[in-house]
């Protein structure tokens, strides 16, 4: 942030100063565009997101406080708009019945470490507290020195350095949990060198014009993005209040009934969020209950997870909740009373300590069901290699997903997978068949899978013609999860 950012914002809010606003766009469009591009991996959509962010700034200029770190505010707003854009894209893909990931259009970076870091950076930044988040944006996204960072944050240079160091260490731990091991110095250097890209030549002018008109002439898709982002921004205030309220309540003696009511209220707040991963900063809890969303959300709406430590779902079957609690890959590997498919629940699991054990205990306590693993003879399908050298199944090369997708663009529904094993592929297709699938191809290593559209009825023929694989019925001993009523 330049020291006069908020003076420019006030000048625009008070006098509708177009030069002031255009200066802000010139100064910060690169930050916004680059963050959006990391989220959506689509240059055209990133440009639309950038335009939407500055339209929102124009609308909210008069309400921003004098202590606002504008660069940090813009970065957060980019996350909200990008989230709305991704949600719209997911809905469009569902309507078009696209079964797999859309081709990414971002150009690959030449630096291998940045290739690992870049897809995770926005999510990592979202985990930071606001002051730590703003310190990182100022120090490494905008390459300000510690004296400037301290002045912007209202602290001395030493305190700014401590805040930046603490935030970098949080980022390092976040990346390490996702398999990207590095030092804080490496992370700082990579962000500083790569995080802000050159804005397309005409974008600054387009953004400024749209924002100064406050989006009045924006396209339908841009208007939808702005509306979705504003909802998420409003929701963020609501969920922060819910978290604070829960923390205050749990800090003083109270009755179990009051805690349960507050927990249910906090659950509702997170489950009603428009953004699928908005529960990232939810207060610690383990809760499951009969659904409150039977008439609002379609059955089976699973909102997401966070690398095995957080789970959230609404109006999904109790059988699926049990599957998640016990870490089973498919309902075909569970033996359970079918009545559990007819019981719909909401659940939220955000505790860091033994989350799944606590989730299992909550299911047993609330609904009276528990499970254990047994080995039983089961009807299964064996995935076997029938015709080597089929065109749709080839050994994976060392390219990144982006590089591979650029060479093999997805033409629509069908398989479009890069660099996965046959065992993982067997797990992925279990939802298409009524029985567990076991890999018996004898093939090691990773492969690429490309087929045209297919459904369960055409599965056998597509597998044979395009992948050279077949699914052979068999009866085999298999570890399964057996669900039973809790005794006593």
Residue 8's CB is within 10 A of a number of other CB atoms, namely 20
Query: Picking from 4-13, 139-148, 154-163, 408-417, which range would have the lowest pLDDT averaged per residue?
Result: 408-417
- pLDDT at position 457, please? 57
Higher confidence at residue 356 or residue 52? 52
Residue 290 vs residues 2, 26, 315, 367, 456: alpha-carbon distances, Å: 51, 51, 8, 9, 32
Q: How much is the CA Rg of the chain, to the nearest whole Å?
A: 25
- pLDDT at residue 155 greater than cutoff 80: yes
Question: Which residues 6+ apart lie within 8 Å of 82 measured at CB?
Answer: 35, 36, 39, 40, 49, 122
Helix (H, G, I), strand (E, B) or coil at 370: strand
| pLDDT higher than threshold 50 for residue 105 | no
Is the predicted pLDDT of residue 156 greater than 60, yes or no? yes
Torsion of CA 61, 63, 69, 74, to 10 degrees: -50
8: pLDDT strictly greater than 80: yes
* Structure confidence by residue, pLDDT tens digits, 357-410: 888 999 999 899 999 888 888 888 888 888 888 887 888 877 766 577 677 765
pLDDT digit string (tens) for 293-337? 776 544 455 554 444 456 778 788 899 889 888 877 778 888 899
Put the strands of the sheet holding 344-349 in their side by side order: 286-290, 344-349, 311-317, 301-305
- pLDDT at 256 (0 to 100): 37
- Decide: 390 and 466 in contact? Cβ < 8 Å: yes
415-430 mean pLDDT? 76
What pLDDT does 36 receive? 93
Q: What are phi and psi of 54, to 5 degrees?
A: -75, -25
The per-residue pLDDT for range 195-211, each reduced to its tens digit, is: 676 666 666 666 766 66
Which structure tokens are listed for 147?
């004296």
What's residue 55's pLDDT? 92
- CA gap 376, 401 in Å, rounded: 38
| pLDDT grade for 71, boundaries at 50, 70 and 90 | very high
Position 262 scores a pLDDT of 45
* pLDDT at residue 266, rounded to an integer: 60
Confidence of residue 241 (pLDDT cuts 50, 70, 90): very low
Mean pLDDT of 110-117: 72
């Amino acid at each position: 942030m330049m020291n006069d950012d908020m003076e420019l914002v006030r000048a625009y809010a008070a006098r509708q100063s177009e030069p002031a606003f255009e200066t802000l766009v010139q100064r910060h469009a690169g930050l916004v565009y680059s963050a959006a591009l990391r989220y959506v991996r689509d240059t055209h959509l990133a440009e639309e997101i950038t335009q939407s962010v500055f339209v929102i700034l124009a609308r909210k200029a008069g309400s921003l406080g004098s202590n606002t770190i504008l660069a940090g505010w813009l970065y957060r707003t980019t996350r909200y708009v990008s989230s709305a854009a991704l949600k719209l894209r997911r809905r469009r893909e569902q309507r078009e019945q696209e079964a797999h990931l859309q081709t990414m259009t971002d150009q690959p970076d030449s630096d291998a470490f940045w290739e690992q870091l870049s897809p995770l950076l926005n999510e990592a930044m979202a985990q930071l507290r606001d002051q730590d988040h703003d310190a990182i944006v100022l120090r490494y996204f905008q390459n300000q020195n510690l004296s400037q960072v301290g002045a912007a944050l209202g602290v001395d240079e030493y305190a700014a350095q401590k805040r930046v160091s603490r935030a970098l260490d949080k980022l390092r731990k976040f990346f390490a949990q996702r398999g990207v091991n590095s030092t804080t110095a490496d992370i700082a250097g990579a962000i500083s060198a790569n995080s802000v890209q050159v804005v397309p030549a005409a974008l600054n002018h387009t953004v400024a014009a749209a924002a100064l008109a406050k989006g009045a002439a924006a396209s339908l898709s841009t208007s939808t993005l702005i509306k979705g982002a504003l909802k998420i921004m409003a929701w963020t205030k609501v969920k922060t209040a819910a978290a604070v309220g829960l923390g205050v309540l749990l800090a003083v003696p109270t009755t179990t009934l009051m805690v349960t009511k507050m927990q249910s209220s906090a659950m509702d707040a997170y489950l009603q969020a428009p953004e699928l991963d908005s529960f990232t900063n939810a207060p610690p809890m383990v809760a499951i209950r009969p659904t409150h969303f039977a008439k609002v959300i379609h059955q089976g709406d699973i909102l997401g997870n966070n690398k095995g430590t957080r789970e959230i779902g609404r109006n999904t079957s109790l059988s699926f909740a049990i599957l998640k609690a016990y870490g089973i890959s498919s309902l075909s590997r569970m033996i359970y009373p079918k009545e559990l498919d007819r019981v719909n629940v909401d659940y939220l699991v955000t505790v860091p300590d033994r989350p799944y054990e606590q989730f299992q205990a909550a299911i047993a306590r609330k609904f009276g069901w528990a499970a254990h693993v047994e080995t039983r003879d089961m009807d299964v399908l064996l995935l076997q290699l029938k015709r080597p050298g089929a065109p749709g199944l080839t050994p994976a090369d060392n390219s990144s997903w982006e590089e591979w997708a650029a060479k093999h663009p997805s033409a629509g529904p069908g398989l479009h997978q890069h660099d996965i094993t046959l065992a993982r592929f067997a797990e992925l297709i279990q939802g298409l068949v009524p029985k567990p699938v076991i890999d018996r191809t004898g093939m090691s290593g990773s492969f690429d899978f490309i087929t045209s559209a297919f459904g369960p009825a055409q599965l056998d023929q597509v597998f044979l013609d395009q992948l050279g694989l077949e699914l052979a019925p068999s009866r085999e001993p298999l570890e399964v999860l057996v669900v039973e009523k809790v005794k006593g």
